[in-house]
Structure 1
Amino acid sequence: MRISGRIVTPTGIVEGSLSIADGKIVAIRKGKAEAQWILPGFVDIHTHGGGGHTFTTGDAAQARGAAAFHLRHGTTTMLASLVSSPFEVMAEALQAFAPLVAEGVLAGVHFEGPYLSHIRCGAQNPAFLRDPNPSELTELVKLANGTLRMVTIAPERDGALEAIALLREHGIVAAIGHTDGSYEQVTAGVAAGATVATHLFNGMRPVNHREPGPVVALLDSPQVVCELVADGVHLHDGTLAFAAHSAGAARAALITDAMAAAGMPDGDYDLGGQAVVVAGGVARLQRDGSIAGSTLTMAAAVRQAVGAGLSMADVAMMAATTPARVLGLDKRLAVGCDADLVLLDEELKVTGVVRGGLPQ
């Protein structure tokens, strides 16, 4: 297979064509190019669902539907994110999603909680929040057998630092989020092994010049990749650009934080057992108006980030290469790499998706 266009490679934009064989990129050549963008397939490490389907109930059929929806919008690699849940739901999800991980439908599971701050719980169900329990977490790691890839934790909770170290020991990414922790508590979490900031700014104590809090601690930690929800709601475009410039594209990852309502009409929905109302494409909890995830796709996030003034090269890195690296994957547009691609027109809308060298 041969595809031509403006190819966004790790070393710059090449006008020309790329060739694919056996699921890999085998050549990239300069030359005559079609009027389209060729980006690495998007990698979303934080999404709860989409297209009317959810990951949060641990239902395999729902998960397939959500993954298929996001694949159509250019996401070739994704984690299935749950919200804070009882142990039983977490365990069932790991078992139900394991076959999907084995098939390559999903790259793994992300638990956003339940080891989070009550004060900064956002759309998390406060009834399920709790301190990390070593025996519970150890049991989940055993059940996962490699399926669990990331867990979000508030580092100020009792036992959180030990939990972060346990996750690191088992090769599972520890993320810091939904935290009211101080600068010192968050830097202690990073020192314990946390390497991701869950939707930076959102679900966190705000910045104060006398108590910089989580945002400054995470932005200033060179080993931390900062998730950014580029929908114009979670972050003002100026904040998005500031965070991307501060962290650099190699430390910034676009995510959707999407829920089942992504790609669906406004109306009433559910997120982890909580009533959500979507109006004007914005999802909020019915009970208190808190933002409840998003209705975003990665393609829309790319358009928002470019509109905020970020370069296409940086946005491609933030939408694919950087989040892939969080998972220990190499998803670049380079010879020898997987042929996971998304084709965008001049308006940056998806016109084609290739995964493993095959059109989707």
Structure 2
Amino acid sequence: MAHTILLTNGTVVTPEGILEKGEVFIEDGMIQEVGTSIKRQANQQIDAQGGYVLPGFIDMHIHGASGADVMDATEEALQTMADVLPKEGTTSFLATSMTQAPGAIEAALKNAAAFTTKPGQAQMLGVHLEGPFVSPKRAGAQPIEYICPPDAEQFDAWQKAAEGKIRMVTLAPEEENGMSFIRKLAAEGIVASMGHTNATIAQMEEAAEAGAVQATHLYNQMSPFHHREPGAIGGALLVDELCAEVIADFIHSHPKAVELAYRVKGADRLILITDAMRAKGLEPGEYDLGGQPVHVTETDARLSDGTLAGSILTMEHAVKNVVRTLGISPLDVAKVSSGNAARQLGLAKKGSLIAGNDADIVILDKEWTVMHTICGGVIGYEHNGKS
């Protein structure tokens, strides 16, 4: 018999607006109906108790969680990430690599290619290749010794190892071959995202004309804004073709800087990400990122020289931060936490609560705490402790 769920009594956020006392009917992993008086019987019923019902969060930029890292290149690491992410409302993610020796990157890609998501887990949508095609002048926590200019031949070899699962690449457009590499990515339907870049605003504009569509962790490891040279930050904000990722932990960027991004880019071109590393969800202490020691406190993760090394942010807290500080509406929350990422990645059946879409759903109470997460029609997390 088909597995069915009827979700009732929710503040359901749809692309057309908010349904008070809304309902969602799920069958075999798909949303079959969204409305206010659904006349169908279900095997399972969930009372949303008036809470917000949104499309499940999509994290396009995450390196690790709960002791696991994509660069571990093990099935266990990806299983751990897929298991724990529903707790923060995330129903799908891009496994994000980082600058390392070519062999280490290849091993991580082969591991991702072989990975299969289990029912109730966050779905690994593919890989975000962050580096090594970045600027050594804006390395941040990317190991500088492995940084190199964009290399189409090397990328093709890696994409083969990944069995076509590389969906997004962070690169510096100003580096040698940068613009031609962007044209190649765009032609192959891969998200070209400008990050770890020392580009001028003119180079950012040229990159967008070549097919770049995104800016990686806005403000961080980008040439700064100056009134006589607006730099990569100015380009990320002003070039309409670019969506911008934001790490809304208010450590990577001041709350007013996040507000500026929201005002300039608008809810349709801002994407919440975590950029989380393996210490997310664990106690403060000593960890590593890309083979480099990282000191983790209650609030952040840094290299020995003080450089930020990813975050320990959850998507749940990113949402809470932008709601409480910027006062953004539930409709806009759905866009910045899910809808925009789905559009960027060409995921026609994710990112919005409409009939025919995947049943990837998060239910949050009025304080924006995650109460239930449904991944592909299977409950992946319940706030009462069961998962």
**Is residue 127 of structure 2 the alignment partner of residue 109 of structure 1?**
yes
Distance 1:55 1:33, change over 3 A: closer
Deviations 1:73-116 (A, max 9, x none): 21111000011112111211111111225768410011110111
Structure 1 range deviating more: 332-341 or 55-64: 55-64
TM superposition score normalised by structure 2: 0.89
What TM-score comes out, normalization by structure 1 length? 0.96
The answer as to 2:5 corresponding to 1:11 is no
Task: Map 1:323-334; keep pairs closer than 5 Å.
Answer: 323-330=341-348, 331=350, 332-334=352-354
Distance 2:307 2:123 in 1: 31
Deviations 1:147-179 (A, max 9, x none): 111111011111111211222222221110011
Structure 1 counterpart of 2:23, one-letter code: S
The list of structure 1 runs, each at least 4 consecutive aligned residues, that deviate by more than 6 angstroms after superposition, is: none
Q: Is the 8 A contact 1:302 1:319 kept in 2?
A: yes
Aligned to 2:77: 62
Residue matched to 1:214 = 232
User: In structure 1, how many angstroms separate the alpha carbons of the residues matched to 2:145 and 2:100?
Assistant: 9
Report what 1:84 is aligned to. 99
Are positions 1:232 and 2:250 aligned together? Answer: yes
Task: List runs of 5+ in structure 2 lacking aligned partners.
Answer: 38-46, 381-387
Give the secondary structure class of the aligned counterpart of 1:131. coil
What's the Cα RMSD here?
A: 1.6
Task: Report the counterpart of residue 283 of structure 2 in structure 1.
Answer: 265
Q: Per-residue CA shift, 1:127-160, capped at 9, x if unaligned?
A: 1111122321222223323211111101111111
Provide the C-alpha distance between the structure 2 equivalents of 1:69 and 1:217, rounded to a whole number of angstroms.
Answer: 35
Instruction: Give the deviation of 1:315 after TM superposition.
Output: 1.4
> Residues 83 and 112 of structure 1 are in contact (CA less than 8 Å); yes or no, is this contact kept in structure 2?
yes
- Offset at 1:223? 2.1
Preserved contact between residue 137 and residue 163 of structure 1 (Cα < 8 Å):
no
**How is 1:46-195 mapped onto 2 (pairs within 5 angstroms)?**
46-100=61-115, 105-195=123-213
Alignment-mate amino acid for residue 351 of structure 1: M
Further displaced range: 42-51 or 311-320: 311-320
Instruction: Give the structure 1 partner of residue 6 of structure 2.
Output: 2
The answer to whether structure 1 residue 282 and structure 2 residue 326 are counterparts is no
CA distance in 2, matches of 1:189, 1:57: 32
The alignment status of 1:307 with 2:324, answered yes or no, reads: yes
Q: Contact between 2:26 and 2:377, CA under 8 Å: does it hold in 1?
A: yes
| CA distances 1:334-357 after superposition (whole Å, capped 9, x unpaired) | 122111001112221111111111
Does the 8 Å contact 1:150/1:175 carry over to 2?
yes
> Which stretch has the larger CA shift, 266-275 or 124-133?
124-133
Query: Hey, what's the Cα distance between the residues in 2 that align with 1:152 and 1:198?
Result: 7
| Deviation sequence 1:298-324 (CA, Å, 0-9, x none) | 111111110122222111210001011
TM-superposed CA distance for 1:180, in Å, is 0.9
CA shift digits 1:19-73 (9 cap, x unpaired): 1122222222236972211111000000000111111232221121122211222
Q: Equivalent residue for 1:34? A: 49
- Structure-2 separation of matches of 1:250 and 1:231: 20
Q: Which stretch shows the higher mean deviation, 271-280 or 159-168?
A: 159-168
In structure 2, how many angstroms separate the alpha carbons of the residues matched to 1:282 and 1:140?
Answer: 31
Contact 1:101/1:108 (8 A) holds in 2: no
Report if aligned partners of 1:101, 1:147 keep a CA contact under 8 Å in 2. no
